[in-house]
Structure formats: C-alpha cells, structure tokens
Amino acid sequence: DPNLPSYDEMRKQGIYKKQFDRPHVAFEDFRRDPEANPLPSPSGKIEIYSETLAKINEEWELDEDESITPLPEYVSTFNGWDSPDRKEFPLQLTGFHYKSRAHSTYGNVDILKAAAPQELWI
C-alpha cells in the first residue's frame, strides 16, 4: 500500500485505517459467475454436505462415541447445556473472544480496552 505511513509516523498515529472505494464482497467473483469462478470445493460450489468429511468418518479409526458428521449439526459437549449435571449446577458460564483481541494479544492496548471493554453478561 503506497499510502502506508512510515514506521515512525505509524508509532505517532497509533492506528492506520485503509480506505476502500467500495465495500468488500466475499466470494464476489463466484457470486457474479459461479461457473467461471468455482470455489475450492469438490463441486466448485458452496457445499452443505461434505463428501470429504463423510470419507474421513468412514476411514478414520474413531472411538465408539465419536463421529465426524458430513452435515452441520449440533453436537453436545461435556458439561454442555444438556448435561445431566444441569439439575445440580444450573448456572453455566461461557466465554467468547472479544473483538478487540485474540487471546491475550492486544489485551494491554489502552485504546482498544476503551473501545471494547471486557464485560460479563449474566
């Protein structure tokens, strides 16, 4: 990007925001002409059923209680909302990544902490 500031200018600015002429459209070429611009999937299209995952499920040695589904589906996890322990322990705390950081990276940047403060939802 020829408009990218020098290292020293960037240190003074603290942030660089690239301007675009128009919004980004995901898979724009594919959406405009799917035949001429196929996706990197076996069919070249968006696939809901995955032949690749179905094959993995058949070929891999999985434990009896394990499976890899070729269709998107909800799979319960240990101590999830549908766990039998829910009767004894009805409060469940779940966490998610905030938009201002990834794990601890950028977690100590004051301007990001001010823009997207950590919150607890109950």
Q: pLDDT tens-digit profile of 14-57?
A: 888 888 889 999 999 999 999 999 999 989 999 999 999 999 99
For residue 109, being part of any structural domain is answered with no
Separation of alpha carbons 7 and 21, rounded Å = 25
Neighbours of 23 (CB within 10 A): 5
1 and 34 share one domain: yes
**Nearest CA-CA partner of 41 in 33, 50, 32:** 50
pLDDT score, position 37: 98
34 and 1 share one domain: yes
Q: How confident is the model at residue 2 (pLDDT cuts 50, 70, 90)?
A: confident
For residue 101, being part of any structural domain is answered with no
24 and 52 share one domain: no
For residue 112, being part of any structural domain is answered with no
Burial of residue 98 (CB within 10 Å: 0-12, 13-18, 19+) is middle
pTM > 0.75: no
62 and 33 share one domain: no
pLDDT score, position 20: 86
Average pLDDT for 94-104: 78
54 and 30 share one domain: no
For residue 114, being part of any structural domain is answered with no
The parent domain of residue 24 ranges over 1-38
Q: Quick one: tokens of 96?
A: 């998610």
For residue 75, being part of any structural domain is answered with yes
For residue 70, being part of any structural domain is answered with yes
In total, how many domains does the chain have?
Answer: 2
- Evaluate whether 68 touches 62 at the Cβ level (below 8 Å): yes
Which distant-in-sequence residues (6+ apart) come within 8 Å of 38 by Cβ? 30, 44, 45
Separation of alpha carbons 27 and 30, rounded Å = 5
62 and 80 share one domain: yes
